[in-house]
Amino acid sequence: MAQHYYTVSWDQLHRDSKALAWRLITLRPFTGIVAITRGGLIPAAIVARELECRLIETVSIVTYDEEVRGVPVVTKPPVAAGDGTGFLIIDDLVDTGTTARQVRGLLPRAHFATVYAKPAGKALVDTFITEVSQDTWILFPWDTEAQFIAPLARQG
């Protein structure tokens, strides 16, 4: 279990993904983008829009079951990206680097960018926006929903 939780709203994710595009714009043009599914899909769509990049490929690597990390399994390779030449890899987060190492092995010539980065994995990406502590679990907007919480005075 994580020590800390950090909730990211849809608005914040959009702002942070757009900030990532601002950092990447000087590196364009890119032939295409490879979104790491599922977390990288929405940031990749935002970055693709901002960079006016129409070719979006995906790679699917299953690493987590809830908050438990397992052995990474490539369930869908990024065939259209070749060795990554001219491609931009986008993910929401680099954590321990397990997924990043797998993707780097598949696309060694691509530029790798994430919105958020933890210390154990940040050296594996070329560009990121925000660093968060290793013991923080980011709650992305697709994993949460708003609900009523009783006032503190009512909580024992």
Catalytic residue among 11, 65, 83, 92: 92
| Strand 68-76 to 56-65 pairing | antiparallel
143 catalytic? Reply is: no
Better-scored residue on pLDDT, 142 or 155 = 142
Candidates 80, 75, 32; CA nearest to 56 is: 32
Q: Which two tokens mark 41?
A: 């899909």
Candidates 134, 99, 130, 100; CA nearest to 120 is: 134
- pLDDT tens digits for range 70-124: 788 999 999 999 999 999 999 999 999 999 999 999 999 999 999 999 999 999 9
- pLDDT tens digits for range 29-83: 999 999 999 999 999 999 999 999 999 999 999 876 666 667 889 999 999 999 9
Catalytic residue among 16, 91, 135, 143: 91
111 by DSSP, 3-state: which?
Answer: strand
Q: Which domains does the chain have, with CATH numbers?
A: 4-142 (3.40.50.2020)
pTM for the structure as a whole? 0.89
Catalytic residue among 11, 16, 83, 95: 95
Cα separation, 150 vs 152, whole angstroms: 6
126 catalytic? Reply is: no
135 catalytic? Reply is: no
pLDDT-based confidence at 147, cuts 50/70/90? Answer: confident
Q: How far from 54 is each of 48, 109, 116, 124, 129, CA to CA, in Å?
A: 7, 20, 23, 26, 23
